[in-house]
Amino acid sequence: MRSLGRPPAALWLHNPERSLAGLSVDHAADRLVQAAEILASAVERGWCRSWGIATWNPEQVWSVVAAIRGDWPRPGLVMTRSGLLAPAKVLIAAENLAARCEARLWGMSPFGGDTQDAVWGEVDPRQFLAPRQESTRWQAALRLALAVPDAVERVAVGASTPAHLAELLPTPGLTVNSELVASYRQLLERRSAAETSLAARSAGARNGSLSGNASSGARL
Protein backbone atom coordinates (compact mmCIF):
# COMPACT_ATOMS: atom_id res chain seq x y z
CA MET A 1 0.00 0.00 0.00
CA ARG A 2 2.87 2.38 0.79
CA SER A 3 4.54 1.57 -2.56
CA LEU A 4 1.37 2.23 -4.54
CA GLY A 5 0.48 5.35 -2.60
CA ARG A 6 -3.09 4.10 -2.28
CA PRO A 7 -4.95 0.99 -1.10
CA PRO A 8 -5.12 -1.78 -3.73
CA ALA A 9 -8.56 -2.13 -5.29
CA ALA A 10 -8.49 -5.89 -4.62
CA LEU A 11 -6.33 -8.21 -2.57
CA TRP A 12 -6.44 -11.83 -3.70
CA LEU A 13 -6.29 -15.04 -1.72
CA HIS A 14 -4.36 -16.83 -4.44
CA ASN A 15 -4.99 -20.54 -5.23
CA PRO A 16 -6.25 -21.50 -1.75
CA GLU A 17 -6.85 -25.03 -3.04
CA ARG A 18 -3.12 -25.67 -2.63
CA SER A 19 -3.26 -24.96 1.10
CA LEU A 20 -6.51 -26.87 1.55
CA ALA A 21 -5.39 -30.03 -0.27
CA GLY A 22 -5.11 -33.11 1.91
CA LEU A 23 -7.18 -31.68 4.75
CA SER A 24 -10.50 -33.04 5.94
CA VAL A 25 -13.45 -31.01 4.71
CA ASP A 26 -14.12 -29.58 8.19
CA HIS A 27 -10.46 -28.65 8.73
CA ALA A 28 -10.27 -27.08 5.28
CA ALA A 29 -13.44 -25.08 5.94
CA ASP A 30 -12.04 -23.78 9.24
CA ARG A 31 -8.76 -22.77 7.59
CA LEU A 32 -10.54 -20.94 4.77
CA VAL A 33 -12.73 -19.06 7.25
CA GLN A 34 -9.62 -18.00 9.21
CA ALA A 35 -8.05 -16.65 6.02
CA ALA A 36 -11.28 -14.84 5.16
CA GLU A 37 -11.34 -13.19 8.59
CA ILE A 38 -7.76 -11.91 8.14
CA LEU A 39 -8.53 -10.47 4.70
CA ALA A 40 -11.81 -8.95 5.87
CA SER A 41 -9.84 -7.28 8.66
CA ALA A 42 -7.43 -5.86 6.06
CA VAL A 43 -10.40 -4.24 4.31
CA GLU A 44 -11.69 -2.81 7.60
CA ARG A 45 -8.25 -1.32 8.35
CA GLY A 46 -8.14 0.35 4.95
CA TRP A 47 -5.23 -1.73 3.64
CA CYS A 48 -7.28 -2.67 0.55
CA ARG A 49 -10.71 -1.80 -0.77
CA SER A 50 -11.89 -5.38 -1.27
CA TRP A 51 -10.66 -8.96 -1.22
CA GLY A 52 -11.35 -11.99 -3.32
CA ILE A 53 -10.45 -15.60 -4.09
CA ALA A 54 -8.38 -16.30 -7.22
CA THR A 55 -8.37 -20.01 -8.01
CA TRP A 56 -7.23 -22.19 -10.90
CA ASN A 57 -9.43 -25.07 -9.69
CA PRO A 58 -12.66 -23.56 -8.34
CA GLU A 59 -14.29 -26.97 -7.95
CA GLN A 60 -11.91 -27.75 -5.08
CA VAL A 61 -12.60 -24.43 -3.36
CA TRP A 62 -16.33 -24.75 -4.00
CA SER A 63 -16.51 -28.07 -2.14
CA VAL A 64 -14.87 -26.43 0.89
CA VAL A 65 -17.04 -23.30 0.77
CA ALA A 66 -20.15 -25.48 0.53
CA ALA A 67 -19.12 -27.14 3.81
CA ILE A 68 -18.87 -23.87 5.77
CA ARG A 69 -21.69 -23.57 8.28
CA GLY A 70 -23.02 -20.28 9.53
CA ASP A 71 -22.05 -16.76 8.63
CA TRP A 72 -18.51 -15.91 7.54
CA PRO A 73 -16.77 -12.95 5.83
CA ARG A 74 -17.34 -13.92 2.22
CA PRO A 75 -15.13 -12.60 -0.57
CA GLY A 76 -16.56 -9.87 -2.73
CA LEU A 77 -14.77 -11.24 -5.80
CA VAL A 78 -14.04 -14.63 -7.33
CA MET A 79 -11.53 -14.91 -10.18
CA THR A 80 -10.93 -18.09 -12.14
CA ARG A 81 -10.25 -19.39 -15.64
CA SER A 82 -12.65 -18.18 -18.31
CA GLY A 83 -13.02 -18.44 -22.06
CA LEU A 84 -13.36 -21.15 -24.68
CA LEU A 85 -10.56 -23.36 -23.34
CA ALA A 86 -11.78 -23.51 -19.72
CA PRO A 87 -13.10 -27.01 -18.88
CA ALA A 88 -16.81 -27.49 -18.21
CA LYS A 89 -16.21 -28.41 -14.56
CA VAL A 90 -14.26 -25.20 -14.02
CA LEU A 91 -17.02 -23.09 -15.57
CA ILE A 92 -19.79 -24.69 -13.51
CA ALA A 93 -17.79 -24.53 -10.27
CA ALA A 94 -16.88 -20.88 -10.91
CA GLU A 95 -20.54 -19.94 -11.26
CA ASN A 96 -21.50 -21.96 -8.17
CA LEU A 97 -18.65 -20.53 -6.10
CA ALA A 98 -19.49 -16.94 -7.02
CA ALA A 99 -23.18 -17.52 -6.28
CA ARG A 100 -22.46 -19.16 -2.93
CA CYS A 101 -20.16 -16.32 -1.91
CA GLU A 102 -22.53 -13.70 -3.38
CA ALA A 103 -19.42 -12.40 -5.15
CA ARG A 104 -18.73 -10.71 -8.46
CA LEU A 105 -17.06 -13.02 -10.99
CA TRP A 106 -13.83 -12.13 -12.79
CA GLY A 107 -11.95 -14.19 -15.37
CA MET A 108 -8.32 -14.96 -16.15
CA SER A 109 -6.24 -16.93 -18.65
CA PRO A 110 -8.60 -16.12 -21.55
CA PHE A 111 -6.20 -17.59 -24.12
CA GLY A 112 -5.60 -20.81 -22.22
CA GLY A 113 -2.19 -19.60 -21.10
CA ASP A 114 -0.54 -19.41 -24.51
CA THR A 115 -1.61 -17.71 -27.73
CA GLN A 116 0.86 -19.96 -29.59
CA ASP A 117 -1.05 -23.11 -28.62
CA ALA A 118 -1.89 -25.20 -31.69
CA VAL A 119 -5.59 -25.07 -30.87
CA TRP A 120 -5.75 -21.42 -31.90
CA GLY A 121 -4.62 -22.39 -35.39
CA GLU A 122 -7.55 -24.80 -35.65
CA VAL A 123 -10.31 -22.86 -33.89
CA ASP A 124 -11.30 -19.33 -34.85
CA PRO A 125 -13.07 -17.71 -31.88
CA ARG A 126 -14.60 -15.11 -34.20
CA GLN A 127 -17.22 -17.66 -35.24
CA PHE A 128 -18.81 -17.24 -31.78
CA LEU A 129 -19.42 -13.53 -32.32
CA ALA A 130 -22.52 -11.99 -33.84
CA PRO A 131 -22.19 -11.52 -37.64
CA ARG A 132 -20.73 -8.50 -39.41
CA GLN A 133 -18.17 -7.45 -36.81
CA GLU A 134 -14.53 -6.70 -37.42
CA SER A 135 -12.16 -8.22 -34.88
CA THR A 136 -8.92 -10.13 -34.48
CA ARG A 137 -8.79 -13.66 -33.10
CA TRP A 138 -7.49 -12.38 -29.76
CA GLN A 139 -10.15 -9.71 -29.44
CA ALA A 140 -12.78 -12.38 -30.04
CA ALA A 141 -11.18 -14.80 -27.58
CA LEU A 142 -11.05 -12.14 -24.88
CA ARG A 143 -14.66 -11.08 -25.51
CA LEU A 144 -15.76 -14.70 -25.11
CA ALA A 145 -13.90 -14.87 -21.80
CA LEU A 146 -16.38 -12.24 -20.61
CA ALA A 147 -19.25 -14.55 -21.58
CA VAL A 148 -17.94 -17.97 -20.52
CA PRO A 149 -18.77 -18.55 -17.68
CA ASP A 150 -21.86 -16.40 -17.21
CA ALA A 151 -21.70 -12.91 -15.74
CA VAL A 152 -17.93 -12.35 -15.88
CA GLU A 153 -17.37 -8.64 -15.21
CA ARG A 154 -13.65 -8.31 -15.92
CA VAL A 155 -10.81 -10.44 -17.27
CA ALA A 156 -7.16 -10.23 -16.21
CA VAL A 157 -4.74 -10.45 -19.13
CA GLY A 158 -0.99 -10.23 -19.53
CA ALA A 159 0.94 -8.97 -22.53
CA SER A 160 4.55 -8.64 -23.61
CA THR A 161 4.08 -5.24 -25.26
CA PRO A 162 1.77 -2.23 -24.83
CA ALA A 163 0.65 -2.76 -28.44
CA HIS A 164 -0.85 -6.13 -27.50
CA LEU A 165 -2.88 -4.53 -24.74
CA ALA A 166 -3.95 -1.72 -27.06
CA GLU A 167 -5.25 -4.34 -29.50
CA LEU A 168 -7.51 -5.73 -26.79
CA LEU A 169 -9.05 -2.43 -25.67
CA PRO A 170 -12.02 -2.50 -28.11
CA THR A 171 -12.96 -6.01 -26.98
CA PRO A 172 -15.89 -5.20 -24.63
CA GLY A 173 -17.72 -3.50 -27.52
CA LEU A 174 -18.04 -6.75 -29.46
CA THR A 175 -21.32 -8.70 -29.41
CA VAL A 176 -21.40 -12.42 -28.70
CA ASN A 177 -23.65 -14.94 -30.46
CA SER A 178 -25.39 -16.04 -27.25
CA GLU A 179 -27.16 -19.04 -28.79
CA LEU A 180 -23.94 -20.43 -30.23
CA VAL A 181 -22.10 -19.90 -26.93
CA ALA A 182 -24.90 -21.67 -25.04
CA SER A 183 -24.69 -24.62 -27.46
CA TYR A 184 -20.93 -24.74 -26.96
CA ARG A 185 -21.38 -24.85 -23.18
CA GLN A 186 -23.85 -27.71 -23.53
CA LEU A 187 -21.38 -29.59 -25.72
CA LEU A 188 -18.62 -29.11 -23.14
CA GLU A 189 -20.86 -30.36 -20.35
CA ARG A 190 -21.97 -33.44 -22.30
CA ARG A 191 -18.36 -34.26 -23.12
CA SER A 192 -17.33 -33.80 -19.47
CA ALA A 193 -20.18 -36.06 -18.31
CA ALA A 194 -19.17 -38.73 -20.83
CA GLU A 195 -15.54 -38.59 -19.69
CA THR A 196 -16.60 -38.87 -16.03
CA SER A 197 -18.83 -41.84 -16.83
CA LEU A 198 -16.04 -43.57 -18.76
CA ALA A 199 -13.58 -43.00 -15.91
CA ALA A 200 -16.09 -44.45 -13.42
CA ARG A 201 -16.66 -47.55 -15.58
CA SER A 202 -12.92 -48.04 -15.98
CA ALA A 203 -12.40 -47.76 -12.23
CA GLY A 204 -15.26 -50.19 -11.62
CA ALA A 205 -13.78 -52.66 -14.10
CA ARG A 206 -10.40 -52.49 -12.36
CA ASN A 207 -11.98 -52.96 -8.95
CA GLY A 208 -14.04 -55.84 -10.25
CA SER A 209 -10.94 -57.49 -11.68
CA LEU A 210 -9.15 -57.16 -8.35
CA SER A 211 -12.14 -58.55 -6.49
CA GLY A 212 -12.35 -61.43 -8.90
CA ASN A 213 -8.70 -62.29 -8.40
CA ALA A 214 -9.11 -62.10 -4.62
CA SER A 215 -12.15 -64.35 -4.73
CA SER A 216 -10.37 -66.86 -6.90
CA GLY A 217 -7.49 -66.91 -4.46
CA ALA A 218 -9.88 -67.45 -1.53
CA ARG A 219 -11.52 -70.41 -3.26
CA LEU A 220 -8.14 -72.00 -3.83
pLDDT(197) > 60? yes
* pLDDT per residue as tens digits for the range 52-105: 999 999 999 999 999 999 999 999 999 999 999 999 999 999 999 999 999 999
d(CA 188, CA 92): 11
Sign of CA dihedral 10, 11, 17, 23: negative
> On the CB side of 106, how many CA atoms lie within 13 Å of its CA?
17
What confidence category does residue 217 fall into, taking pLDDT thresholds of 50, 70 and 90?
A: very low
What is the pTM for the complete model shown? 0.84
- In this structure, are residues 147 and 174 in contact, taking their beta carbons and an 8 Å threshold? no
- In this structure, are residues 84 and 123 in contact, taking their beta carbons and an 8 Å threshold? yes
* DSSP β-bridge partners for residue 11: 51
* pLDDT per residue as tens digits for the range 103-162: 999 999 999 877 788 888 888 999 999 999 999 999 999 999 999 999 999 999 888 889
